[in-house]
Structure 1
């Protein structure tokens, strides 16, 4: 079982022996020590599994780590993909919850034929576009703030010039006008400040998604990248 700081070898653990894992098998969903890795690569059933280092495994986002190769309801390996629900299915799923679904596909073929590299580039480009849009909006709003301040200053100067030319009644109008200007400025500044704050938060979320997409591209299994892509696309939307 992997933890935030260490991961033990699953094969050794099944034999009541504790050894630190240095590798991770996404398909078997367990860590492997150096000795068990040798047998893992030698076995006909597991020699084709895509092994990654524990360090790379730890760099994966938690929701990518949580993507499993086996159905949690039936404890069977996923073999098919349901395009209607966009989820993988085990043999029992096909006969139960997906018995009426049309067009079920072989999961291995779906993963192989999916153009993951181009799709991830599309995701990265979408994130870059969002990031650029956020930056442009911030620049525009900051320019608006400066313009508002300059306009307020101009209005005040004009009011003061008129005040020197007319009677005391204009003093009262000047005071009222300045109060209205300041009230409007405070309201707009508050709105823009709130927007800038929201944009900063969105920028951070975009940066996190970029890092997640990069980490998946470099470290995740094909299935994890395929399903993880769905989550990122949902977050982008």
Structure 2
């Protein structure tokens, strides 16, 4: 989280240090910043608002107590100018701010790639979800059709059983009716 500017200008030591030079790692007031940007050696220096500067102090070399300005590409460590001519002689170097810019750019690219991949994965998941929903609909349709077929078979079986019972009962009723009729006839003949 960015902190509010509480520094004073490190050049004139009078004005508020509202600007921070990333290359020099110093706080500047607006007037000193303008003067600094007019000089040939520092006209390309990058500034940011001091309220956006997170570190309280400058980055110092632990061996030489100098400002760290370079990155030793051979050892992959931040170094000061004394390290460059001392323990890192003959190594490949880049400016600290250039390395930070490259890392920022690489991080941006990596984040953008991950966002694209995540979006593609989410799109695939949405497609899979649609396929799953369609498969569920197919299963529901199949279950409904099977249920209808079973119900039709049960209805047919019940209808056949009812028809059989009716047929049996009609036959039995016919037999009983004939027996009653024959018995009445026999009774009538005996009475006469």
Name the TM-score, length of structure 1 as normaliser: 0.43
* Bigger Rg over Cα: 2
Instruction: Pick 1 or 2: higher relative contact order, CA cutoff 8 A, min separation 6.
Output: 1
